[in-house]
């Protein structure tokens, strides 16, 4: 049994497809916070593309049925967000080599009922870091989380940054160990991989303080999520650090606010959202997203909601 919100979106899908328009969408839970529908619908208008983008509330237990249902309904492509980026892989016909190595998919292209998975988060994550990669050589990094987003981030860091060490700080020890096992084969440089417990502040304190790059890959602090990023970590943020929160609603999360207050450089997840969205848009439409116009729109939208 699929949830009421999904069924409402499904009826919209069927109506729009019958009118001759293409439909794209996003699967996730929660989904109400997502700026992807606004971003893609505005990009479709800007490029005069006859298409609509819809949000679908999908829990992991509903994923297989939901995916089959929207494909039968005529959907042309999907984005996949938390908590489904890993769970969706066995349901696809093929995935790209990067997505396979990472073990996470965030974009699906549907062609004649055949589903191919991509990971455009890789490009999206790296784009805001490009100006800092050289300065981070031989420095340490901390990644909070061990899910699909953390897998993409760790893969990107190990392939593109000459870091001394990367430490996962996670609640799920077994999941973190599996991720680090996979990550050993991703290393381009002699980066040390290690893990610390999310619940052990003493263990995390020195690691955080000695890290140049701090990245939140969890939904903690996201609008609509029931938990904030733990305040106990804030006192270990310092000047010279880069604090990158993949959460983009609100634009300035508590983690970014506290990091900036202590002299760190904040990077909002909005930049990653737009860059990964642009890559998805290109896969679906073969056209480029108007990035500057979309960024202005999304910044204004989020400021109005504050």
By CB neighbour count within 10 A (0-12 exposed, 13-18 middle, 19+ buried), where does 261 fall?
exposed
What average pLDDT does the chain have?
Answer: 95
Contact partners, residue 20, CB within 8 Å, separation at least 6: 50
The pLDDT profile of the chain, 306 residues, written as one tens digit per residue, is 799 999 999 999 999 999 999 999 999 999 988 999 999 999 999 999 999 999 999 999 999 999 999 999 999 999 999 899 999 999 999 999 999 999 999 999 999 999 999 999 999 999 999 999 999 999 999 999 999 899 999 999 999 999 999 999 999 999 999 999 999 999 999 999 999 998 888 888 899 999 999 999 999 999 878 899 999 999 999 999 999 999 998 989 999 999 999 999 999 999 999 999 999 999 999 999 999 999 999 988 766 655
What are the structural domains, with CATH classification, of the chain?
Answer: 4-119 (3.40.50.10860), 123-269 (3.40.50.720)
Could you tell me if 85 and 106 are in contact, meaning their C-beta atoms sit under 8 angstroms apart? yes
Give the pLDDT score at 204.
85
Q: Which residues are catalytic?
A: 85
CA nearest neighbour of 191 among 153, 157, 215: 157
By CB neighbour count within 10 A (0-12 exposed, 13-18 middle, 19+ buried), where does 1 fall?
exposed
Could you tell me how far CA 186 lies from the centroid of its own chain?
19
Could you tell me if 216 and 144 are in contact, meaning their C-beta atoms sit under 8 angstroms apart? yes
Give the pLDDT score at 243.
98
CA nearest neighbour of 287 among 45, 63, 1, 28: 45
The SS3 of residue 151 is helix
pLDDT digits (tens, 9 = 90+) for 157-189: 999 999 999 999 999 999 999 999 999 999 999
pLDDT digits (tens, 9 = 90+) for 83-114: 999 999 999 999 999 999 999 999 999 999 99
Could you tell me how far CA 88 lies from the centroid of its own chain?
15
Give the pLDDT score at 203.
80
Please calculate the CA angle 142-146-152 and round it to the nearest 5 degrees: 80
**CA–CA distance, 109 with 14 (Å, rounded to integer):** 18
**CA–CA distance, 276 with 283 (Å, rounded to integer):** 11
Sheet with 22-28: list strands edge to edge: 51-57, 22-28, 77-80, 107-111, 114-118, 94-95
DSSP states of 234-289 as a string?
GGG--TT-EEEES--SSSS-HHHHHHHHTTPEEEEHHHHHHHHHHHHHHHHHSS--
């Amino acid at each position: 049994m699929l949830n009421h919100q999904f069924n409402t979106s499904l009826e919209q899908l069927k109506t729009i497809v019958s009118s001759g328009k293409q439909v794209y969408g996003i699967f996730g839970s929660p989904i109400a916070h997502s700026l992807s529908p606004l971003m893609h619908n505005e990009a479709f208008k800007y490029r005069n593309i006859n298409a609509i983008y819809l949000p679908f509330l999908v829990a992991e237990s509903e994923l297989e049925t939901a995916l089959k249902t929207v494909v039968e309904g005529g959907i042309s492509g999907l984005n996949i967000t938390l908590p489904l980026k890993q769970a969706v892989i066995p349901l696809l016909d093929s995935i790209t080599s990067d997505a396979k190595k990472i073990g996470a998919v965030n974009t699906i292209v549907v062609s004649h009922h055949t589903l191919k998975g991509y990971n455009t988060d890789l490009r999206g994550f790296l784009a805001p870091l490009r100006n800092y990669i050289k300065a981070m050589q031989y420095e340490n990094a901390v990644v909070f989380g061990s899910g699909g987003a953390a897998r993409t981030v760790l893969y990107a860091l190990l392939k593109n940054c000459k870091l001394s060490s990367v430490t996962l700080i996670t609640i799920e020890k077994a999941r973190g160990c599996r991720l680090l096992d996979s990550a050993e084969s991703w290393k381009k440089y002699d980066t040390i991989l290690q893990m610390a417990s999310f619940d052990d502040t003493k263990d995390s304190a020195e690691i955080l303080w000695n890290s140049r790059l701090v990245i939140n890959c969890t939904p903690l602090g996201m609008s609509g999520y029931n938990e904030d990023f733990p305040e106990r970590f804030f006192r270990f943020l310092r000047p010279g650090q880069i604090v990158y929160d993949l959460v983009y609603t609100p634009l300035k999360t508590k983690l970014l606010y506290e990091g900036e207050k202590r002299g760190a450089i904040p990077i909002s997840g909005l930049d990653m959202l737009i860059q990964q969205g642009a890559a998805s848009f290109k896969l679906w439409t073969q056209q480029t997203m108007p990035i500057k116009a979309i960024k202005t729109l999304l910044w204004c939208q989020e400021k109005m909601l504050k």
